[in-house]
Amino acid sequence: GQQLNQSPQSMFIQEGEDVSMNCTSSSIFNTWLWYKQDPGEGPVLLIALYKAGELTSNGRLTAQFGITRKDSFLNISASIPSDVGIYFCAGQNAGKSTFGDGTTLTVKP
Partner 1 sequence: DADVTQTPRNRITKTGKRIMLECSQTKGHDRMYWYRQDPGLGLRLIYYSFDVKDINKGEISDGYSVSRQAQAKFSLSLESAIPNQTALYFCATSANGFRETQYFGPGTRLLVL
CA angle 35–85–33, rounded 5-degree value: 10
42, 53, 55, 96, 106 from 64: Cα distances, Å: 23, 7, 4, 20, 23
Binding map of partner 1 across residues 23-52, x = CB under 8 A, - = no contact: --------x-x------xxxxxx--x-x--
Kindly state the smallest distance separating residue 15's Cβ from partner 1, in Å: 25
* Per-residue contact flags (x/-) with partner 1 for residues 66 to 95, judged by CB under 8 A: ----------------------x-x----x
96 binds partner 1 (CB under 8 A): yes
- Closest by Cα among 34, 33, 7, 15 to 104: 7
DSSP letter at 98 equals E
Among 61, 69, 102, 105, the residue binding partner 1 under the rule CB under 8 A is 102
Residues that bind partner 1 (CB under 8 A): 1, 4, 6, 9, 31, 33, 40-45, 48, 50, 88, 90, 95-102
